[in-house]
């Protein structure tokens, strides 16, 4: 998606060789599956959001996005590499990755070329994400706007 920011499935998150090959230091687990290497020495740092890919999660989506974005930002700022994953790697993980791309560009004031790269990254994610991811991001953005 961006340098050191990856989106994948639970299968990718369970592959120690894949995590090592990409230098993954942090894993943002967007689903309810367990964190495979959480208790292993030298394993990645985890955050599990416990989202169920259901409209039932909509009321807490804003908080989950904010928590996931902060985790991702802290990891990348520290020089780490982040894998954002859900069960299949096409909905919840893409939503969180899109949220991070948007947040980071807004936060940095995004120069024109940076905005272009952000738009290209978002386009790649949207093409992979089902419509529900886009709706969840829009809903969270509306909720954030109303609470401001």
Query: Catalytic: 31?
Result: no
In tens, the pLDDT along 78-89 reads 999 999 998 776
Which of residues 78 and 3 earns the better pLDDT score?
78
The backbone torsions φ and ψ at residue 2, rounded to the nearest 5 degrees and listed phi first, read -135, 165
Tokens describing residue 83:
């894998």
* Tokens read off for 28: 């943002």
Whether this model's pTM surpasses 0.75: no
Catalytic residue from among 30, 31, 86, 94: 86
Report pLDDT digits (tens) over 34-69: 999 988 888 899 999 998 877 787 778 878 888 999
| Strand partners of residue 2 | 5
pLDDT tens figures, 100-148: 888 887 666 555 555 556 555 555 554 455 444 444 444 444 544 454 4
Burial 55-84 (b: 16+ CB within 10 A, else e): eeeeeebbebbeebbebbeebbeeebbbbb
Residue appearing with tokens 């069960």 = 87
Give the integer Cα–Cα distance in Å for 9 and 84.
8
**132: its two tokens:** 């529900």
Question: Residue 54: its pLDDT value, please?
Answer: 77
């Amino acid at each position: 998606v961006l340098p050191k920011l990856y989106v994948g499935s639970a299968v990718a998150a369970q592959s120690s060789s894949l995590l090592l090959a990409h230098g993954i230091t942090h894993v943002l687990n967007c689903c309810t599956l367990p964190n495979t290497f959480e208790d292993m020495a030298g394993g990645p740092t985890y955050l599990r959001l416990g989202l169920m890919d259901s409209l039932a999660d909509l009321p807490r989506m804003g908080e989950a996005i904010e928590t996931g974005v902060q985790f991702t930002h802290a990891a990348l700022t520290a020089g780490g590499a982040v894998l954002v994953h859900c069960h299949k790697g096409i909905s919840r993980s893409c939503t969180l990755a899109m949220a991070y791309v948007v947040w980071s560009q807004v936060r940095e004031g995004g120069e024109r070329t940076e905005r272009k790269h952000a738009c290209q990254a978002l386009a790649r994610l949207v093409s992979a994400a089902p419509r529900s991811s886009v709706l969840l991001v829009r809903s969270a953005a509306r909720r954030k706007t109303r609470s401001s």
